């Protein structure tokens, strides 16, 4: 069994309602991806001026996208960030 086969079997077992087959393609309807991240306050304390500027632009863009999607959980974000 290959890694691909193992992954497909695990998806079929753990999330059968999230996958479907279209011919020879496997379609995953919903995926949540997690990655390791540095907390923003620590990143800002240790980043260069360019990194800080870039991260603030990205953060602002993320807030804009959340607002456009009518998602509002920003109050909890702001209380955790102390710059």
pTM, 2 dp = 0.46
Q: Where are the domains of the chain?
A: 1-34, 40-80
Measured distance CA(7)–CA(70) in Å, rounded? 34
How remote is the C-alpha of 11 from its chain's centroid? 19
Average pLDDT of span 64-74: 79
pLDDT per residue over 16-58, tens digit each?
999 999 998 889 988 877 878 888 888 899 999 999 999 999 9
């Amino acid at each position: 069994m290959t890694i691909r086969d193992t992954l497909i079997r695990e998806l079929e077992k753990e999330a059968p309602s999230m996958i479907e087959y279209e011919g020879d393609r496997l379609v995953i309807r919903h995926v949540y991806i997690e990655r390791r991240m540095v907390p923003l306050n620590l990143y800002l304390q240790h980043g260069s001026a360019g990194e800080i500027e870039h991260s603030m632009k990205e953060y602002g863009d993320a807030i804009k996208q959340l607002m456009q999607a009518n998602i509002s959980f920003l109050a909890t974000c702001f209380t955790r960030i102390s710059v």
